[in-house]
Structure 1
């Protein structure tokens, strides 16, 4: 049924903060929707008032540290239905992404919804890490994804994800946002002010109710979203250097332009030059145990040739470790024969990795933790290519003629049911 290079497949990625949708073979997604502003009936700003009796829109994901577990299936269906309506997607094969740590049975539920509700002719679920590696032309790579809900390090061998070696950390984009928020509030002496979109100040002032501090409790989700957007804009507009291993405020102050001033939504100016601790907030990504009461011992070196030193067993669940140690944990649990190639193909992606110098810093830290005879090479896209890495990988995958035989077709689903998804989508 699908045997050509051009199938017109629809690629969808549902993330913690944003969801991306578009057509296979395209360079960028044609639609991006805030995942947090989604309810069981609608998406966007109107979703804030769709559930006034229950406190506002119920997110698709309840736990930011586990953005793979869909807890609100009605909202997930609404998000997909709205995206397909806006992009005029009908009767097309659909590829969706999965971070690799979904709860049992979730893929079966997704498959049932796709065939029963959306009547897709073919469906496939691919791992986010594998797609991110494909976006940079790698079939074997150590993928380090810095998302809003947390960081994930995943070894990929010949396009197959090593689930037992997957490691996750709480230190994602939301963690850094909270660090920046605390510093700004401490410096200004008042809560960080944010406001809804299109609400202006100055000559054309709007009523005081435009400020989020006066919004009703039913709009708590939107308040969180606007706060996220404000802090993301701060991070984007002020480059951050991570090229030094130890933070020296005198050194940092010399790197910041004298006129580096950021204006908050309420008009309060924040001179970053006067507050260098704002400039080094992303250093928390590499700090040893800032969230714990005691620091852990330095990890043992990895012997890529196969002579492993004794290392403690690591908990495969959520960790509280810096970015380089997270990659080290995932690398240590991979087969020794693969480690050399993984070190040479370390893929850095995710919106939280767009700070200046993150790739250089990660390479430096991992080089210090590995034998000197092996090289660490970090590859990453530029700008939006890094943020949309997994979607771009899905776009590439669905446009390959050799991939078309892997689709789970409607005929196969009718014959074998959704249980076939467990075998087809490992």
Structure 2
């Protein structure tokens, strides 16, 4: 057992899109950065660094090597954190430590934790703090053991607790029983929690998450001739006061994965700024004359976005819409097995004991970044009211009330932890 008011427990939540780290009991995480990293084969590092000296970026070779989050792992050099990923490097690939939400590369996780503890983020000594690691509902025992081994043997943490994401979200809302709808970057998971435990047999998952919606938007805009130039691929030159010209830059050694990552950053911002869930199921003819919304791209180009503002979010509710988006044809292979969000909720609750279904319907907690989309809560509540039993009292709770999630848990609860 580990306790004491003078000690702050550290919470780390490694998601498919973002890693969050901070102190238990606070309103929000102290550090939020991408969960993907840049990776360069060690044989290419020196050549890449020399080339970047002349790339016109103004960042010296010495500064690059001293960026926190620069970690050499075996034959790779890893670059962790928003600052490191924001700097283009020759031959740098963007890789994720996760596959289907489960850790597949522990070297990358090690580097991510190093970065979280560094002066760029928390500036702590992990030996002095008990640790709480958030994990997906589907995490295997082997993964839990590996996380504990790394945390104890390398970081010398005095205590460790691994908790399911859904349970932490439920507790943060003050509930021991709820239905947690986690709309994350890589997937969407619906998990019923009863008396503080996830009911594994009733967990429902979908590959449609925030990144899938981002790709749908990006492909749709590309089909309309809108090119999203990555920020590294141009510079804006002032030709006269107040007037700028875009000058293209050529970096032939830029990897396709880094180019795609840079384009996704732009498309994700467009999605967050202009998209909203439609009040009713999307219909092409009904939205054909919808007013457009303007968005200025980093290169100064202003684009107009119309029906896509509503069509892309509705893919969460009706996955078959993705078929009509040019470039998303590969989704057709798995589409028949993918359910919309309301159906996932209904199916999950129906797999639970009949005695707790009423309580689950009235305690639907929305979590994850995609859940912040405008009108998503209202649309989900509306669809569920139409499909749920008449006796059910459907209530969806806004995720922003519980954005702190595991950080919002009372400190005295988190501190009483052990393996």
Give the structure-1-normalised TM-score: 0.77
Q: Distance in 2 between matches of 1:107 and 1:268?
A: 47
Q: How many Å apart are 1:136 and its aligned residue?
A: 2.2
Counterpart in the other structure of 1:311 = none
Alignment of 1:92-241 (within 5 A): 92-187=129-224, 189-196=225-232, 200-203=235-238, 208-209=248-249, 214=251, 216-217=253-254, 219-241=255-277
Counterpart in the other structure of 2:114 = 81
Counterpart in the other structure of 1:396 = 408
Counterpart in the other structure of 2:54 = none
Contact in 2 for aligned 1:340/1:374 (Cα 8 Å): yes
Q: Distance in 2 between matches of 1:236 and 1:48?
A: 20
Contact in 1 for aligned 2:235/2:248 (Cα 8 Å): no
Counterpart in the other structure of 1:414 = none
Counterpart in the other structure of 2:13 = 13
Q: Distance in 2 between matches of 1:135 and 1:398?
A: 8
Runs of 4 or more consecutive aligned structure 1 residues displaced over 6 Å after TM superposition = 47-53
In structure 2, the CA distance between the partners of 1:206 and 1:262, relative to structure 1 (3 Å rule), is closer
Q: How many Å apart are 1:173 and its aligned residue?
A: 0.8
Q: Distance in 2 between matches of 1:405 and 1:376?
A: 35
In structure 2, the CA distance between the partners of 1:50 and 1:10, relative to structure 1 (3 Å rule), is farther
Q: Distance in 1 between matches of 2:22 and 2:38?
A: 19
In structure 2, the CA distance between the partners of 1:215 and 1:397, relative to structure 1 (3 Å rule), is farther
Q: Distance in 1 between matches of 2:6 and 2:278?
A: 42
In structure 2, the CA distance between the partners of 1:26 and 1:239, relative to structure 1 (3 Å rule), is same
Q: Distance in 2 between matches of 1:111 and 1:398?
A: 23
Q: Distance in 2 between matches of 1:98 and 1:167?
A: 16
Give the structure-2-normalised TM-score: 0.78
Give yes or no for the alignment of 1:406 onto 2:411.
no
Q: Distance in 2 between matches of 1:125 and 1:276?
A: 43
Contact in 2 for aligned 1:285/1:322 (Cα 8 Å): yes
Give yes or no for the alignment of 1:289 onto 2:301.
no
Q: How many Å apart are 1:376 and its aligned residue?
A: 0.6
Counterpart in the other structure of 1:28 = 28
In structure 2, the CA distance between the partners of 1:319 and 1:23, relative to structure 1 (3 Å rule), is farther
Classify the secondary structure of the residue corresponding to 1:371: coil
Contact in 1 for aligned 2:367/2:399 (Cα 8 Å): yes
Q: Deviations over 1:223-244 (max 9, x none)?
A: 2322222112112221524212
Greater shift in the superposed pair: 148-157 or 226-235: 226-235
Q: How many Å apart are 1:156 and its aligned residue?
A: 0.6
Q: Deviations over 1:139-158 (max 9, x none)?
A: 21100011110110000112
Cα RMSD (Å): 2.9
Contact in 1 for aligned 2:12/2:132 (Cα 8 Å): yes
Greater shift in the superposed pair: 31-40 or 106-115: 31-40
Q: How many Å apart are 1:123 and its aligned residue?
A: 0.5
Classify the secondary structure of the residue corresponding to 1:105: helix
Counterpart in the other structure of 1:375 = 393
Q: How many Å apart are 1:117 and its aligned residue?
A: 0.1
Classify the secondary structure of the residue corresponding to 2:93: coil
In structure 2, the CA distance between the partners of 1:190 and 1:133, relative to structure 1 (3 Å rule), is same
Contact in 2 for aligned 1:144/1:153 (Cα 8 Å): yes
Q: Deviations over 1:77-106 (max 9, x none)?
A: 111012112212212101111011123401
Give yes or no for the alignment of 1:328 onto 2:336.
no
Whose strand fraction is larger, Structure 1's or Structure 2's? Answer: 2
Q: Distance in 2 between matches of 1:146 and 1:404?
A: 28
Unaligned runs of 5+ residues in structure 2 are 40-72, 239-243, 325-335
Q: Deviations over 1:362-400 (max 9, x none)?
A: 111111111112111000133xx66xx4xx232233613
Classify the secondary structure of the residue corresponding to 1:201: strand
Classify the secondary structure of the residue corresponding to 1:137: coil
Counterpart in the other structure of 2:104 = 71
Q: Distance in 1 between matches of 2:20 and 2:410?
A: 15
Question: Structure 1 residue aligned with 2:371, among 343, 353, 369?
Answer: 353
Give the total of aligned pairs: 361
Q: How many Å apart are 1:330 and its aligned residue?
A: 1.3
Contact in 2 for aligned 1:153/1:327 (Cα 8 Å): yes
Q: Distance in 2 between matches of 1:354 and 1:47?
A: 25
Unaligned runs of 5+ residues in structure 1 are 294-317, 409-426
